[in-house]
């Protein structure tokens, strides 16, 4: 279970890993993406092994190799734009903020009333049993207005 939120050039994610109804540990769910493919940071939510494999590809600068799997990816590019991967393809949403993962509904509610990405993730961690652990926060240098 996961929550990842993006707003105003910031991406934030929890680290909790669950197994059934239990808490198994923590893993980093955000990775830096090399500048030659757009830079920024990508986060992944879903089944742990394929989601982490997707993040490895993103971190190696190979977003075109992200495919299949029971997961989704949100990519905050270095220029502040956002791309999403789900169900076999990349797409972009026109939205002032976004969230993915099991805690997305809570995070989106917080973002809707003005919370930043970090606060939205912390709200989901406080209120959703599948979200928690340490929060990672990354910022890109430029934001598209």
Predicted confidence (pLDDT) at residue 142 exceeds the cutoff of 80 = no
| Banded model confidence at residue 145, pLDDT cuts 50, 70, 90 | low
pLDDT category, 144, cuts 50, 70, 90? low
Residue 24, pLDDT > 90, answer no
Please tell me whether the overall predicted TM-score, pTM, comes out greater than 0.85 for this model. Answer: yes
Copy the structure tokens of residue 76.
Answer: 């905050």
Q: What is the mean pLDDT of residues 84-90?
A: 92
Instruction: Tell me the C-alpha distance between 52 and 58, whole Å.
Output: 10
Q: What is the rounded average pLDDT for all residues in the chain? A: 93
Q: Which domains does the chain have, with CATH numbers?
A: 4-129 (3.60.20.10)
Mean predicted confidence (pLDDT) in 37-54: 95
pLDDT value at residue 68: 79
DSSP per residue, 100-128 = ESTTHHHHHHHHHTT--HHHHHHHHHHH-
16 vs 3, 71, 113, 125, CA distance in Å? 9, 16, 25, 9
pLDDT of residue 88: 86
């Amino acid at each position: 279970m996961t929550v990842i939120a993006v707003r105003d050039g910031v991406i934030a994610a929890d680290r909790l890993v669950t197994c059934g109804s239990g808490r198994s540990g923590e893993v980093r769910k955000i990775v830096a993406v090399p500048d030659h493919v757009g830079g920024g940071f990508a986060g992944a939510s879903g089944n742990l092994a394929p989601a982490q494999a997707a993040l490895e590809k993103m971190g190696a600068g190979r977003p075109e190799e992200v495919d299949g799997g029971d997961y989704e990816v949100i990519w905050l590019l270095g220029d502040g734009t956002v791309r999403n991967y789900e169900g076999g393809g990349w797409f972009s949403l026109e939205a002032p903020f976004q969230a993915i993962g099991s805690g997305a509904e809570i995070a989106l509610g917080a973002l809707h009333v003005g919370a930043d990405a970090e606060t939205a993730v912390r709200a989901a961690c406080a209120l959703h049993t599948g979200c928690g652990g340490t929060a990672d926060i990354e910022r890109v240098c430029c934001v598209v207005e």
